Amino acid sequence: MTFRNLTNAEETILKRSFNNWGIFEIFKTLRILIRTLFLDAVISDPKHTLTLGYSNGTEFTEPEKTIKRTKEVFVHSNIKYDDTLFNKIHPVIVGLKIGTIKNKRFSPGLNFAEFVVKHNKNMDYPHVIINTKAESLIVFGRDIMGSSILSYFKDIKENQQAIILNHNKEVIGLGKSRYSGRLIIQPNVITIDTTQDIGTYYLKSENRLSKSIDKNKDHSL
């Protein structure tokens, strides 16, 4: 589970995403690290079989490297540390995971949404604000009916990722719009598909961290 600094290509991808969400100015203030995750790996070389999990430093040929690879993006504290010690101890997690890079595209997560809400005070990014009844359903992964939306980003487009906020403008999820403009609030129709919600996210994060810590303990015995 090795962390590393951004490549030039990854930096370009992230700068573009930060700009699209209206928070480009904070990019240079963050220390961002990458951790590579290999998924569903049945690689072309019959001598190798890579199972679900994190890269352990094994060297692969170039064609093998491009198969089913997802890069997790973390924002790390700017506090200085000894790089040699950092690489030696192989930390389980470093800072906040803000999303993933796959196929040269950045997919933001809920922590990234928190950055957007905190730093883009004008709220000129795709979002919807929902009522209290809908909030209690969305934290368990339910989709959003148009009649549950109190307000929305006026330039929202069809099939666009949007931040889901409660009436206090707190992040409770991420979704994808089915409609654009005023069609987003049409009644008795699901207009936003929930793709991430805080209930599922925090439960999965706790389980993942617990398993990683247990695994590291086993290796130290």
Per-residue pLDDT, 150 = 97
For the cut 90, the answer to whether the pLDDT of residue 55 exceeds it is: no
CA dist 205 and 220 (Å) reads 23
Question: Is 70 exceeded by the pLDDT of residue 201?
Answer: no
Task: Please tell me the pTM assigned to this model.
Answer: 0.75
pLDDT of residue 52: 45
Q: What is the pLDDT of residue 141?
A: 84
Domains of the chain in start order, with CATH, are 3-114 (no CATH), 126-200 (2.30.130.10)
159-176 pLDDT, tens digit each: 999 999 999 999 999 999
Q: Which of 109, 44, 43 is nearest to 71 (CA)?
A: 109
Burial pattern 67-80, b for ≥16 Cβ within 10 A else e, equals eebebbbbbbeeee
Mean pLDDT of 137-159: 94
Quickly state the pLDDT bin for 2 (edges 50, 70, 90).
confident
Is 202's pLDDT higher than 90?
no
Q: What is the pLDDT of residue 6?
A: 92
Give the least confident one: 33-37, 97-101, 103-107, 146-150: 33-37
**pLDDT value at residue 46:** 47
pLDDT computed for residue 139 by the predictor: 85
